Structure 1
């Protein structure tokens, strides 16, 4: 069965409803879809955030995320995955990224979605720069994000 494109890196916004509809299309085995949407906050680490700029390494980013989706398929009984990550200049409240996972039952979707998010937060070659009143600053992965990845038996390569 053909699934929609699994990974897209784009500047444009996305429609969660349309993406979930495409993920579920014509697959009557799907009984659950779990999704996560990340958005730009107006504060981070105690500072106001005016905007966030996201950069990536074209080609490498998609391959990296595809490899982790393959790993999610090996670990969990899932039927489909869709990941969208935006790049470019984004304002507070903007959607940054989406992970949607389809399975027959909710437990597998929840676990696979969390697994993919833990990976994306620490391993995907995407860099974030926030504009604050004090100037621009790069956002590093947090120790808590590395610990979340470690519970899946994966060491953070950026540690």
Structure 2
């Protein structure tokens, strides 16, 4: 059902044919990166948090980052508390492993983390544990009805990830 709601969502932009479904799981950043053939940082992961109004908010971020609790509190004015898997399903309509900001069950506030701006394209899930779509950051912003770009993650500023493959200790 969740994959179907995302397909319905992407129909308005004629992007359903661009959705990818895999024979293997893409339920984690690492599995998605392996299934697609990209570095984990290019997986756009969607994180679900309980807001101060008991309504969920979604943060979409690069796959190689973690939430910075201090930045989160400064940006949103409340402590970062992730939803339980049952709450995620109830709020988004998507089960853990396929959570994305598209085809949501409820109208939720979506924020995009600046960690994704390092890449021309990223790969968010499409509502199931074996799906993805390649989108630019502008497309993710448009298709997710994002409210704004935020800076609430850490771990990506220190070193730029590289897509090059190391062969015989040469890059």
Structure whose residues are more often strand by fraction: 1
Scaled by the length of structure 1, the TM-score of the pair is: 0.28
TM-score between the two structures when normalised by the length of structure 2: 0.27
